[in-house]
Amino acid sequence: MSYEPVIGLEVHLQLSTATKLFCACPAAFGAPPNSQTCPVCLGLPGVLPVLNERALEWGVRVALAFDCQVARVMKFDRKQYFYPDLPKNYQISQYDQPLAQHGHLDIAVGDETKRIGIRRIHLEEDAGKLLHEASPTESLVDFNRTGVPLLEIVSEPDLRSADEAHQYLLELKAVVEYLDVSTGNMEEGSLRCDTNISLREPHASALGSKVEIKNLNSFRAVKLALEYEAKRQAMALGRGERLPQETRLWDAKALKTEPMRSKEEAADYRYFPEPDLVPFVIDAQLIAQARQALPELPRERRRRYREACQLSAYDARVLTQHRAFGELFEGALRAGARPKPVANWMMGDLLAYLNANDLEPDALKLRPEWLAHLVQLIEDGTLSGKMAKAVFLQMLDQGLDPLQVVQAEGLRQIVDPASLERIADAVLAANPRSVEDYRRGKVNALTYLMGQAMKLSQGKANPQQIAELLKRRLEQANPRKERG
Ligand SMILES: [Zn+2]
C-alpha cells in the first residue's frame, strides 16, 4: 500500500522592528544577555502592554503579500503555559480573531505552479531563550528575546511531499526578504518552522493522525525530517499499527524523530482574551497604505524577467530567489549587458561560488557593472571562456573590476593568425609521438595537443582558432588519410 503524505507548515517569523511588540525595549539580536528587558516584558505586576504600531503595519503588509483577508477587528489572547523562559507564564498571542486569514502562496512543482493555502497569520510575542551549554547541572535564561514580535504563518495541509514543503519555505522566505520586514535568517532564529504530517490512502478524504515535528533548524532539516517521518508512518501503518497524535523532535545528529509528548489541544492552553489590550480595529486607510508600500514581489519580478528579458521559467525562478541576486542581475543589464549571458554567469559560476563559500548573495562585494564588463570582455574577444573564469574568481575574491584585471595583467586573448601558427608549430614539433598517434587514427591525440597549445600560450590562445589550426596542420601532414 502506498500512502499520500498530507503536510502543513507553521512558520514563526521574527519581525525586525526596532522595539519589542508590547514595550519599548530594543529587539535587536546579539546584545549581552538580559540587557534588553523592562518591567513589561519581564511580566512584573502593575504594568500594561502597548501594541507596537510598526509591527501591526508590517504584519498587514505580509498578510497582503500572501493575498490574505485582513481582519477588520483583531484581538489578542493569553496562551497559558509554564516554562522557565516565559516570565509571565502566558504568552500574548491571537486565538480566534487573528490578524489575517484565507491567503495563499504559489510554489513551483516541476514545471507547474501549485497554490498552497495560508490558513491564518497572527501576531504574538516571543519567549526568552534557555542556554544549557554553560554547565551540565544548570541552565541560564536570557530574556532579551522575550516580547520580540513574531508573525505566525500557518499553511493549510496542502503540501504533498518534502520537496513541496521545501519549495514553500523557499518562496515564503523570498517574499519576506523582498518585503524587508524580517531577516528570515534561520541560524539566528528569525525564521523558525514546525511541520505536521499525516499519511492517508490516496484519494481518501479522511486525514490520518497528525504528527507535529519540532526542532527544525534548517530547510534541510525540514526536508529530511518529513522524508523520515513519511517512511516511519508508512511502515507502522503497513504493520497494521494505529499511530498516536503526538509531537516529535527531530534529532539532527541521529537523523530521526523521537517522541516528545502527546499533542496539546487548544483547550490545554486555556486561551482567554487578553484583558490588558482592547480589540484593534484595522481601518481601511492602514490597509491601503500597507498595500501601497508593497514592493515588487518575487512572482511579479519572475513574470517580468520572463516577458521582458526572455528568460526561461527556471532561470527566472533562480534569479529571483534572493532580492539581492535579482538586483545584481538588473544592475548588470543597466550597465549594458544582454540578459542571457549575465543569467548564465550568475546561475553557473556565481551560484557555485556562493555555495562553495557558504555565502548569501548580499554578502558579495560585487558591483553589478563588473558582471557586465566580464560579459563584454568575452563578447569582444578579449577573454576566452577559460580566461574569463580566472578573472571571475579575481573579481569575487579580491573585489576587482574585470577591466582592471585585464589591464593590470595585460590579459588579451591571442587571435592573430601568425602568433597562433607559431604556437601550433611549436606544439607539433615538440610532440612527434602525438602527431604520429593522430595519423594512426587516434583522434584523441588532438585533445592532448590542444591542451599543450593552451599551456604554451598561458591560456591565452583562442581555443576554437587553435583547435582548427592544429587539425588543419595534422591533416596536411597526413597524406595517406588525405588520399582516403
Ligand atoms: Zn521590555
How far does the centroid of ligand 1 lie from the alpha carbon of residue 434, in Å?
A: 78
How far does the centroid of ligand 1 lie from the alpha carbon of residue 25, in Å?
A: 4
Q: Which residues have CB less than 5 Å away from ligand 1 (the ion)?
A: 23, 25, 38, 40-41
| Integer Cα distance of 479 and 439 in angstroms | 9
Amino acid at 458: Q
Place 472 in a pLDDT band, splitting at 50, 70 and 90: confident
Residue 184 has pLDDT above 80, yes or no: yes
Q: What angle do CA 120, 144, 86 make, to 5 degrees?
A: 60
How far does the centroid of ligand 1 lie from the alpha carbon of residue 279, in Å?
A: 22
How far does the centroid of ligand 1 lie from the alpha carbon of residue 91, in Å?
A: 14
Residue 267 has pLDDT above 70, yes or no: yes
> Over the stretch 47-82, which tens digit does the pLDDT of each residue have?
999 999 999 999 999 999 999 999 999 999 999 998
**Residue 410 has what pLDDT?**
75
How far does the centroid of ligand 1 lie from the alpha carbon of residue 136, in Å?
A: 30
How far does the centroid of ligand 1 lie from the alpha carbon of residue 20, in Å?
A: 7
> Over the stretch 99-131, which tens digit does the pLDDT of each residue have?
999 999 999 888 788 999 999 999 999 999 998
How far does the centroid of ligand 1 lie from the alpha carbon of residue 483, in Å?
A: 92
How far does the centroid of ligand 1 lie from the alpha carbon of residue 18, in Å?
A: 12
**Residue 477 has what pLDDT?**
58
Q: Check residue 133 and report its DSSP letter.
A: S
How far does the centroid of ligand 1 lie from the alpha carbon of residue 188, in Å?
A: 20
Place 484 in a pLDDT band, splitting at 50, 70 and 90: very low
SS3 per residue for 337-381? CCHHHHHHHHHHHHHHHHHHHCCCHHHCCCCHHHHHHHHHHHHCC
Give me the mean pLDDT over the 325-334 stretch: 92
Give me the mean pLDDT over the 240-249 stretch: 89
112-125 and 100-109 as β-strands: parallel, antiparallel, unpaired? antiparallel
**Predicted structure pTM score:** 0.81
How far does the centroid of ligand 1 lie from the alpha carbon of residue 214, in Å?
A: 28
Residue 440 has pLDDT above 90, yes or no: no
> Over the stretch 372-421, which tens digit does the pLDDT of each residue have?
999 998 888 888 888 888 889 989 998 889 888 888 877 777 778 888 88
Place 205 in a pLDDT band, splitting at 50, 70 and 90: confident
How far does the centroid of ligand 1 lie from the alpha carbon of residue 54, in Å?
A: 16
| Integer Cα distance of 430 and 428 in angstroms | 5
- The cell numbers describing 234, all together, are 508508512
How far does the centroid of ligand 1 lie from the alpha carbon of residue 40, in Å?
A: 5
How far does the centroid of ligand 1 lie from the alpha carbon of residue 21, in Å?
A: 9
Nearest to 198 by CA among 163, 241, 238, 245: 245
